[in-house]
Chain A
């Protein structure tokens, strides 16, 4: 027993000795970081770089929402020389703790990237009146230190709906059938997705009032197999264009469309090249621009808490892609009229000739 204890003790002494050697370099960085945290509160006055924290309800590398926010923050970092800290977590149980930790650590601006931070922010933002907060893709009335951003997904979806309705009539294209049926696969049955669908439906019916739209919800955003299953079912019912609003689940829906030789519509980012030749266009949410503009407003001192910004077609917060990938794949078969009509509709929406419906609780907050 004694021998063993001695051995353990000696082991400890050795390692602690090692620690002493390695310590010289590491203590330097430590004091530096702690000094940063202390001075962060008065960073704006003393001219130190502004510190921005982004908290994600998922991971970077999703080729979608989170990556876009990251891009926007990186762009701002280059342009304004700010400091950026990012926290990712796929576990819902971590979100609140991560958010509070960042709020408490003295950052100038803390951004909750996704509507899922809405409740968390309403709970905690009032405790940190000196910190600025931003919620991306949701409206938070948490206080006058919080800005919210909303996207007009209904306007973007109007255009994709119109494109889908036109595409399904072009029976000369391989895979397009006689029936005027298009499909729509959503993730969870939550209000924001209905805002997408309202626009999509209106856009499709604007082109052709008789068109039939199949709607399915997968119940989650993470199950690609489920997405594939739902899309396959819709295709078997005669749908030849499947729009998805379902993140990872949607990838499965698009895969089904490409495997069964029909067509799909992407969402949030430019997904046209995921299954080249099978994705007509994507409805883009310009989360990167939005993130950049929020950071810019803090840098310029124009940050106005308690307000919400509406990102729509007019200010390029949402848009559709330029159809270039499908155009290249289909060659001469691709009906140019779709591109022209979509461009025309976009103008009409921007100048107010067409008013796109929105789901309850969405739409431009300025008009409500």
Chain B
């Protein structure tokens, strides 16, 4: 087992180098200066408080949505709709943050987060329920529900809850619930501590509690779980709701920490990055933080690469995509090997 873990890290490192190399060649072909671009990428991700802060600020939602995706994967669901849960959670936090007044700040903050968690969890419950009741493919429902969620929030912040300025946003939340910036002048905020706590709780839940054991069992084989007396349908819904709740928390932190209001279309596919960071590490919850930090650094660096080296940031998206392709290729490879080993032992089933 230990050797296998080592192998994973080596594979990860190699795929990383390979995708950076492909990105390098891409930039050469397109006529940019790859070395200059990568230098700017590095500087833009780590050097100086603005840059490092931007990396941290981007890290938080990618981490939470990545963990959320991995949790859903634990129960065998592909939650492609975290973006929607993030948007709705963000909107819930923005509205409770602005319209509830006169409460002590800690209580108010708790209400904001609870609202985001509930909304995110309920939204994620829709595809889960459809899946367990009628066998509807959850990926399709998730993707579609994601669009619906996004347009709902877009309508709300342009229409009934618009701040009335030239920017499509809701009014500023109350002073008390704002998560303070920790690295001025960047947008990095105290939400990172909440995120770390949430992630620690999830890791404990998955690896140390009976709930986690149920999740894993259902994810591996729902029929077996049912046979063992675990209600797999219930567990799948629970898993998806936990996943959605994490998306909601990510949205709440973006609103209460990064912006202070709900900004239309603010996420720009954060949840997709989270999803990718989870997929690259084979949905291994303990590796997701590492990978999401790396992706956040790439994202933050890409901004500065675009600003100072003139290389469009879509190049970085290309690199990430190549990364995912290579990483999943390796997974295919290991799965194949496992199957071979099984059949070798004669333990053929199905």
What residues make up the interface of A, taking CB atoms closer than 8 Å to B? Answer: 1, 4-5, 8-9, 11-12, 15-16, 18-19, 22-23, 25-27, 29-30, 33, 85, 87, 91-94, 96-98, 100-105, 114-116, 119, 124, 127-128, 188-190, 192, 219-220
Would you call A15 and B21 a contact (CB within 8 A)? yes
Given contacts A9-B14, A104-B48, A124-B185, contact A87 B167 (CB under 8 A): no
The residues in B between 18 and 41 inclusive whose CB is less than 8 angstroms from any CB of A are 18, 21-22, 24-25, 28, 33-36, 39-40
- 8 tightest A-B contacts by CB? A15-B21, A26-B33, A93-B266, A26-B35, A104-B50, A26-B36, A127-B185, A30-B36
B172: nearest residue on chain A (CB-CB)? Answer: A119
What residues make up the interface of B, taking CB atoms closer than 8 Å to A? Answer: 10, 14, 17-18, 21-22, 24-25, 28, 33-36, 39-40, 48, 50, 54, 158-159, 164-169, 184-187, 259, 263-268, 303-304, 307-308, 333
**Shortest distance in angstroms between B27's beta carbon and chain A's nearest beta carbon?**
10
Chain B residues with Cβ below 8 Å from A188 are 166
Given contacts A12-B14, A26-B35, contact A116 B263 (CB under 8 A): no
Chain B residues with Cβ below 8 Å from A8 are 14, 18
Chain B residues with Cβ below 8 Å from A22 are 28, 33-35
Would you call A12 and B17 a contact (CB within 8 A)? yes
Would you call B35 and A92 a contact (CB within 8 A)? no
Other than the given A1-B333, A11-B21, A29-B36, 6 more pairs (CB < 8 A) read A12-B18, A25-B33, A103-B185, A115-B166, A116-B165, A119-B165
By secondary structure, the B interface counts as helix
By secondary structure, the A interface counts as helix
Once bound together, how far apart are the Cα atoms of A219 and B162, in whole Å?
Answer: 10
**Shortest distance in angstroms between B306's beta carbon and chain A's nearest beta carbon?**
9
Would you call B265 and A93 a contact (CB within 8 A)? yes
Given contacts A30-B36, A100-B50, A220-B158, contact A93 B268 (CB under 8 A): yes
Once bound together, how far apart are the Cα atoms of A128 and B39, in whole Å?
Answer: 25
Once bound together, how far apart are the Cα atoms of A25 and B168, in whole Å?
Answer: 44
Once bound together, how far apart are the Cα atoms of A100 and B48, in whole Å?
Answer: 13
Once bound together, how far apart are the Cα atoms of A91 and B313, in whole Å?
Answer: 14
Chain B residues with Cβ below 8 Å from A30 are 33, 35-36, 39-40
Would you call B303 and A101 a contact (CB within 8 A)? yes
Would you call B268 and A87 a contact (CB within 8 A)? no
Would you call A92 and B33 a contact (CB within 8 A)? no
Would you call A16 and B50 a contact (CB within 8 A)? no
14 A-B Cβ contacts within 8 A?
A12-B14, A16-B21, A18-B24, A23-B35, A30-B36, A92-B167, A92-B263, A92-B265, A98-B307, A100-B186, A104-B48, A127-B185, A190-B164, A192-B166
Once bound together, how far apart are the Cα atoms of A1 and B17, in whole Å?
Answer: 17
